[in-house]
């Protein structure tokens, strides 16, 4: 869904926000963006509206759109919801997961282990993505899968940051092992709990990271 042009522009603007080009609170000038992308204001407006729905920017009538990066509390809240969605996916997947998917999960986990050994955060991040997406898919609930992917995508840049924390990759790895074990044995409640805490701890880690960066802010 979406028109080719506005879609790509929306993605590019999103990258610019995540990349830090547009800081928190910046007003996104339609005309400036139009000349920047070499198009009219119309596709820009559509692109900005697309960014409004995930909450990446807020639109104030007759004022313009402003980039809205979530603060520490809002971020914690989002991770909390993400944890619940993952837990739900895990609970369902424990009963429905296929043996082929279990193999894929183990394979992704093995590649994660290699990344930990190589201290390659980017590689770990990538394999971690597939690990979680397999679980979403195996929940057998395509709506849940779509919602989880949506929020996962929104939190992506923050997950990435917190991976750099000392020892986090190894800890995350151990949690992955527990999750796979629970899914293998079809223990729904255990899988749900393991996934919930696995994600929730990311929010807490990030909270600490933020607080340490700006001691007396907000």
* Gap between the Cα atoms of 195 and 202, Å rounded: 11
Q: How far is the CB of 139 from its own copies (least distance, A)?
A: 9
Q: Quick one: which segment of 30-38, 109-117, 142-150, 180-188 binds its own copies (CB under 8 A)? A: 142-150
Q: Residue from 11, 36, 52, 64 that binds DNA (CB under 7 A)?
A: 64
Among 11, 12, 30, 80, binds its own copies (CB under 8 A): 80
* Residue 31 near DNA by CB under 7 A: yes
For the chain, what is the radius of gyration of the CA atoms?
A: 19
Dihedral sign for Cα atoms in the order 105, 82, 54, 158: negative
Using alpha carbons only, what angle is made at residue 2 by residues 4 and 51, rounded to the nearest 5 degrees? 105
Beta bridge partners of 27: 66
- Which partner, DNA, its own copies, none, binds residue 217 by CB below 5 to 8 Å per kind? none
Q: Which partner, DNA, its own copies, none, binds residue 187 by CB below 5 to 8 Å per kind?
A: none
Q: Identify the DSSP state of 2.
A: -
Q: Give the binding site for DNA (CB under 7 A).
A: 3-6, 27-31, 39-43, 45-46, 59, 61-64
């Amino acid at each position: 869904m979406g028109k080719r042009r506005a879609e790509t522009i929306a993605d590019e603007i999103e990258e610019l926000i995540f990349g830090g080009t547009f800081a928190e609170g910046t007003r996104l000038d339609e005309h400036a963006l139009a000349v920047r992308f070499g198009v009219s204001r119309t596709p820009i407006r559509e692109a900005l509206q697309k960014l409004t729905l995930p909450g990446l920017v807020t639109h104030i009538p007759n004022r313009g759109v402003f980039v809205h990066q979530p603060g520490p509390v809002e971020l914690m809240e989002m991770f909390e919801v993400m944890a619940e969605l993952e837990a739900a996916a895990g609970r369902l997947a424990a009963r429905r997961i296929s043996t082929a998917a279990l193999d894929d999960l183990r394979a992704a986990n093995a590649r994660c282990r290699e990344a930990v050994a190589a201290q390659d955060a980017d590689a770990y991040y990538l394999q971690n993505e597939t690990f979680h997406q397999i679980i979403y898919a195996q929940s057998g609930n395509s709506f849940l899968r779509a919602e989880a992917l949506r929020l996962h995508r929104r939190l992506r840049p923050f997950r990435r940051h917190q991976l750099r924390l000392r020892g986090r990759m190894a800890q995350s790895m151990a949690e992955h092992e527990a999750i796979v074990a629970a899914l293998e044995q079809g223990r729904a409640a255990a899988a749900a709990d393991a996934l919930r805490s696995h994600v929730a701890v990311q929010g807490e880690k990030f909270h600490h990271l933020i607080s340490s960066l700006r001691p007396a802010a907000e």
